[in-house]
Amino acid sequence: MTRFRAFCGERSGDSFADTPALHRWSLDHTEDFWDAIWDFGGVVGEKGERRLIDGDKMPGARFFPDAKLNFAENLLRGTGGRDAIVFKGEDKVSYRWSWDELRQKVSMLQQAMRAMGIGPGDRVAALMPNMPEAVAGMLAATSIGAVWSSASPDFGERGVLDRFGQIEPKLLIACDGYWYNGKAFDIGDKLKAVTARLPTLEKTVIVSYAGDTGNAIATLPNADTMDGFMAPHMAREVEFTRLPFDHPVYILFSSGTTGVPKCIVHRAGGVLLQHLKEHLLHADTNPGDRVFYFTTLGWMMWNWLVSALACEATLLLFDGSPFAGGPEILFDYADAEAMTLFGTSAKYIDAVRKSGLEPKTTHRLEKLKSMASTGSPLSPENFDFVYAGIKSDIHLASISGGTDIVSCFVLGDPTRPVYSGEIQGPGLGMKVEVWNENGQPVTGEKGELVCAAPFPVMPLKFWNDEGDKKYHAAYFERFDNVWCHGDYAEVTPRGGIIIHGRSDATLNPGGVRIGTAEIYNQVEQMDEVLEAICIGQDWDDDVRVILFVRLTEGVTLDEELTKAIKTKIRNGASPRHVPAKVIAIADIPRTKSGKITELAVRDVVHGREVKNKEALANPEALDLYRDLDALKS
């Protein structure tokens, strides 16, 4: 970040004292800023003459309209015998690929894809754990301009078809099974059912991992092992097809908890520039760094993680339960592989704290310089735990963005202080503000998180969205020509950001907007409470706050604990945040990426159908909220 400030200063003739000054310049000189990112990041490709056209249109702005590049070419920069990817699958499987080995795999996969007629714009889908073969498949597909889309193998049959059925892939790369918490799950039957309903599918390639590979191949039409698929081809130099900046690279999917998932198409150049900016500057990723994020192929953080290759960093991949065998497994991995960036979810940090593990005393973590947290707001309590219980000299970056932009709106800055409970600030080049109901930017008060100027990683489109109607409705209906992200947020006087939850899950008792994160921040500090979920229940021509709590084993929700929970919320948040009802619950429904699903619970409580249970990791948990006597009075 410091070198980039100087780099921009030399080019512009300006002087930037700190990141906020650089951020202001990045907004005032949009074309110059993204041009500097291209050069500082060493983008491989032809930049072309123009940097931005229709820069006042949102959507509609086009960055680098004359450029030609290839996404995979920019990620496959490393060579030699150094680690490119290290893989650990719980305690079952582990191996590593050098840069040369990764290039060889990509070359053979690319040739095999070309041999079956895959070309620019064709879709390649993956139903895979977070394995090196998935990275190689993505790089091979995007090297020829095919569009990559992926999901996690724990998705149900309907969940897979709701995603891949819309985008009509030619090739499916899948595992035979996966491990979770020490148990193997064979997915052969699911693959048979899914492939039978994908009429455009020409071939299925099976990666052997935790199931019955032979049975899977025998029961699938046009199926082969990955080794068999590559066997006719000798490794050679990878060929890269350079395509326009806006050529599609990824199709990602919304969570699908309110209906069939939206298919969000991302442009290669925008994703590359944004990820280079975030890895190089905001995450301080350097050649030789060893970058880890706990994620699955069903979450955008996988797409973000693999872009660390563009910095010539090593990817540390993990598949399975982060608590398989105990809460220390990922910290063991960090020590063993000299991890430099440890990325995870806020829920994971909270679970480690409540487990009693203090890695600061049990692990060396010598090379660990950064810890990133996303998925939900990180509570002040867990900010404090990272520094007190994990490592004191670390950059803790709470980050927030989404599948919609496959990146971040607000994130860390390694050159500035970290304040407990706050995200450090907006991403460079992102005009992130919080607006009130009248569309005015506000500081120190809660409102809608918006991005008020175009940026390169806005989605290209939604798949099969005639006239871009769904795309426009998703982001631009609330405020004209401004991206409204759907987060309820606040800008602090020092320029930090606090996310209070999703706008559509915001509570409105007595007409006052309350973010659910403000309640979670209080109640989840209590040792008796493992986690909580909060909704608004329509009641007596108003809305009342209902809090469901999953309690620590052996704890009972009696009158004394209920009072303690309400007191904690009243003192730590406000009297308006105090729930009308506190109800003990055995499980909390969450999406495949681990986010709790407040909207689904609210629908069940109100007797409405949850439209897409396949998007949930544990849909059976919804039954616990149905027709509760406690909510009838």
- Peptide bond connecting 248 to the previous residue in cis, omega within 30 degrees of 0: no
Query: Has residue 626 been placed in a domain?
Result: yes
Q: Taking all residues of the chain, what is their mean pLDDT, rounded to a whole number? A: 95
Q: What is the pLDDT of residue 257?
A: 60
Q: What is the pLDDT of residue 97?
A: 98
* pLDDT of 548 higher than 80: yes
Q: What is the pLDDT of residue 612?
A: 75
Query: Has residue 520 been placed in a domain?
Result: yes
Query: Has residue 49 been placed in a domain?
Result: no
Contact status, residue 320 vs residue 89, Cβ threshold 8 Å: yes
Contact status, residue 529 vs residue 550, Cβ threshold 8 Å: yes
Query: Has residue 208 been placed in a domain?
Result: no
Query: Has residue 179 been placed in a domain?
Result: no
For residue 396, what pLDDT band results from cuts at 50, 70 and 90? very high
- pLDDT 10s digits, 86-108: 999 998 899 999 999 999 999 99
How far is 132 from 130, CA to CA, in rounded Å? Answer: 7
Three-state DSSP at 178 gives: strand
Least confident window among 139-143, 323-327, 508-512: 508-512
Q: How far is CA 494 from CA 413, 422, 425, 441, in A?
A: 14, 10, 9, 15
Segment holding 565, helix H or strand E:
helix 559-572
For residue 543, what pLDDT band results from cuts at 50, 70 and 90? confident
Q: How far is CA 410 from CA 109, 197, 405, 503, in A?
A: 36, 40, 12, 16
| CATH code for the domain of 590 | 3.30.300.30
Pick from 488, 505, 504, 516: which is nearest to 579 by CA? Answer: 516
Residue-range definition of the domain harbouring residue 528: 506-631
Rg (the chain; Cα; Å): 24
Contact status, residue 256 vs residue 79, Cβ threshold 8 Å: no
Rounded to the nearest 10°, the torsion over CA 36, 40, 41, 44 is 80
How many structural domains are present in the chain? 2
- pLDDT 10s digits, 480-526: 999 999 999 999 999 999 998 888 777 878 767 788 888 998 998 99
CB-neighbour burial class of residue 187 (10 A; exposed 0-12, middle 13-18, buried 19+): buried
Query: Has residue 29 been placed in a domain?
Result: yes
Give the N- to C-terminal CA distance of the chain in Å, as an integer. 56
Contacts of residue 353, defined as CB under 8 A and 6 or more positions apart, other chains included, come to: 381, 382, 385, 389
How far is 318 from 327, CA to CA, in rounded Å? Answer: 14
Q: How far is CA 517 from CA 176, 375, 494, in A?
A: 39, 12, 21
* pLDDT of 454 higher than 90: yes
Q: How far is CA 368 from CA 279, 291, 383, 412, in A?
A: 15, 10, 16, 16
Query: Taking residues 521-535, what's their average pLDDT?
Result: 93
Query: Has residue 133 been placed in a domain?
Result: no
Pick from 394, 527, 573: which is nearest to 545 by CA? Answer: 573
pTM of the model: 0.89
* pLDDT of 83 higher than 70: yes
- pLDDT 10s digits, 277-305: 999 999 999 999 999 999 999 999 999 99
Query: Has residue 62 been placed in a domain?
Result: no
